[in-house]
Amino acid sequence: MTNAFIPSRPAARGRSDSGFTLVELLVVIGIIALLVSILLPTLSNARRKANAVKCAAALREIGNCYQMYAVEYKGYWPPAKLTPVSGVTYTIGNFTYTSSLTPFWFNFISKYAAANANVGMSVTQAGADAAAQRKTVLWGCPAWEGYYNAASTSVGGISSVQPGYGMNPFPLFTNTSNSTESNIIGSWGSATVKQTGRWFKQVQYKNSAERCLVADSLFWECESDAVPSLATYPPSIVPQPASYNTVVFTAGVSGQTVIDIYRHGTHPPVIGTGSGATYAPNGGRFSFNILYCDGHVVNEVLPRQAYIADRQHFPG
């Protein structure tokens, strides 16, 4: 018996057997978009945690630099800032400072943080030195972008005296004392004008396991300028200025603390515009690193710790 020839079934018009319909493509794209929306927050959170760990490691190295400075200078730690009187110079390594070009805490410890003797210099850095500085632990927080401005203290548009870390200027703060004893030295080198501020030995920093030495900061010094708001209980720190990238934070504003309490968390919505913009008092997530005077580093998640570490007290 001869088998009858059975022709193959013709393919449907307008469709390839190996292709996808528009509906199928849209379904796949929708699934991918859904997966991305689920994974992005997780990836962002992982990146923030990684940055916090890198920052903590840099702060530990900065703590080691302080220890090496103390060994070399008979137990003293560097001041937060030193301003010579007019006509007097102060030399660190191969660099000379004047009343208009002042050294900060990171200038004093720069030689322990990098081989380049010019690393950490303010204002007059050449481009290569500025780039080298940003690769050291002095700029060790990967979450800190720096302040972009055209001021004379900028190198390549980045303020070279705001490395994203600040030093506690009040080693003797207690819950009852104020800022009468500061390590910000002024009128240094004068025979007629009384010097303000002074050097402190490492052993003079009492409660070293609880006292901030260096922390994530919006300014080169860490300070809590005023008592947090007592309008609600528990007391809350007032909104911080939204100063990243464009507006450099200025310390001394009533009601502000310069420790960057959102550094490794998430920022709340911005209220206002320009130099008056602040972060909303509610929302966001707190996360910031503090190097304590005994050398340990903690990632703090409560804003009150910024105040306690600085002033050894939180009201209420």
Average model confidence (pLDDT) for the chain? 80
Q: What percent of the chain has pLDDT over 70?
A: 73
Residue 9 maps to a domain: no
Residue 5: predicted pLDDT: 53
Using 50, 70 and 90 to split pLDDT, how confident is the model at 70? Answer: very high
Residue 124: predicted pLDDT: 47
Tell me the three state secondary structure of residue 33.
helix
Compute the distance between CA of residue 101 and CA of residue 120 in angstroms, rounded to an integer. Answer: 13
Q: Which two tokens stand for residue 182?
A: 């500061």
Q: What percent of the chain has pLDDT over 90?
A: 34
Between 130 and 50, the higher pLDDT residue: 50
Residue 30 maps to a domain: no
Per the structure, how many domains does the chain have? Answer: 1
The mean pLDDT value for 286-292 works out to: 96
Residue 31 maps to a domain: no
Residues 29 and 22 sit within 8 Å (Cβ to Cβ): no
- For the cut 70, the answer to whether the pLDDT of residue 192 exceeds it is yes
Q: What are the tens digits of pLDDT across the range 18-48?
A: 667 877 788 888 888 877 777 666 667 778 8
Amino acid, single-letter form, for residue 232: T
Q: Which two tokens stand for residue 72?
A: 């070399």
The mean pLDDT value for 273-294 works out to: 86
Q: Count of CB atoms within 10 A of residue 303's CB?
A: 20
- For the cut 70, the answer to whether the pLDDT of residue 235 exceeds it is no
Residue 117: predicted pLDDT: 46
Query: Which DSSP symbol is given to 91?
Result: E
Residue 17 maps to a domain: no
CB burial of residue 43 (10 Å; 0-12, 13-18, 19+): exposed
CA atoms within 13 A on the CB side of 295: 8
Residue 13 maps to a domain: no
Residue 32 maps to a domain: no
* Residue in this structure with the two tokens 């996360």, named with its chain if needed: 287
The mean pLDDT value for 73-88 works out to: 95
Domain enclosing residue 112, as ranges: 41-311
Residue 29 maps to a domain: no
Compute the distance between CA of residue 183 and CA of residue 19 in angstroms, rounded to an integer. Answer: 73
Residue 18 maps to a domain: no
- For the cut 70, the answer to whether the pLDDT of residue 267 exceeds it is yes
